[in-house]
């Protein structure tokens, strides 16, 4: 096995928990959407709602396992958490509330808007941390799993913000 093969294998092992969690979340959302599609209306918008809901709830759960350790890592790069430990400690519950909002379809415009704000703030913080070359574990998966802060984190924040933006646009302009 070459050095490159070992490096690629090690990289996959680092991201395996994130890949597993994201894949399971996507499949769970697909399963729920499938059941709705054949019993009610269903479709892509419902799938995005369930995906975002399951994803945010799962990630909040991982953070809540050890909130103090999460907050410590989060304060190293998040713009608001750097200035407020209280925000860092509340963030998992904000994420949980957003996830439950998606799953319940309760106050969708507010949920979408809040998600966009949270993800934009997170995106800016990750970009600044990556530019500085910070070599830290991403607290996004709590202390249960060790994943480096990287472009994967950045992509996750951007994708979730874009999904919320699309849902907000659909809700406001296409309903």
Q: What is the pLDDT of residue 28?
A: 77
The total of other beta-carbon atoms located within 10 Å of residue 151's CB is 11
* Contact (CB, 8 A) for 98 and 115: yes
**pLDDT of 110 higher than 80:** yes
pLDDT category of residue 9 using cuts at 50, 70 and 90 = low
Q: What are the residue ranges spanned by the domains of the chain?
A: 3-174
What percentage of the chain has pLDDT greater than the value 90? 39
**Which one, of 109, 120, 126, lies nearest residue 161 by Cα?**
120
State the Cα–Cα distance between residues 77 and 170, nearest whole angstrom.
Answer: 32
Model confidence, pTM: 0.80
**Residues 46-50, mean pLDDT to the nearest whole number:** 86
State the Cα–Cα distance between residues 125 and 108, nearest whole angstrom.
Answer: 26
* Contact (CB, 8 A) for 124 and 96: no
**Residues 100-122, mean pLDDT to the nearest whole number:** 93
Question: How would DSSP label each residue in 97-143?
Answer: HHHHHHHHT-SHHHHHHHHHHHHHHHHHHHHHHHHHT---B-GGGTT
Q: What is the pLDDT of residue 41?
A: 56
């Amino acid at each position: 096995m070459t050095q490159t093969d070992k490096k690629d294998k090690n990289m996959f092992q680092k991201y395996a928990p994130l890949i597993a969690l994201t894949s399971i979340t996507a499949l769970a959302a697909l399963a729920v959407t499938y059941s709705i599609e054949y019993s009610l209306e269903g479709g892509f918008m419902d799938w995005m709602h369930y995906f975002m809901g399951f994803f945010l709830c799962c990630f909040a759960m991982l953070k809540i396992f050890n909130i103090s350790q999460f907050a410590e890592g989060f304060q190293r790069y998040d713009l608001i958490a750097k200035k407020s430990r209280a925000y860092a400690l509340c963030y998992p519950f904000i994420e949980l509330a957003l996830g439950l909002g998606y799953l319940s379809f309760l106050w969708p415009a507010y949920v979408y808007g809040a998600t966009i704000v949270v993800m934009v703030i997170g995106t800016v913080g990750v970009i600044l941390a990556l530019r500085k070359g910070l070599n830290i574990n991403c607290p996004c998966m709590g202390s249960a799993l060790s994943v480096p802060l990287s472009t994967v984190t950045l992509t996750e924040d951007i994708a979730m913000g874009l999904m919320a933006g699309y849902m907000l646009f659909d809700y406001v302009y296409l309903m």
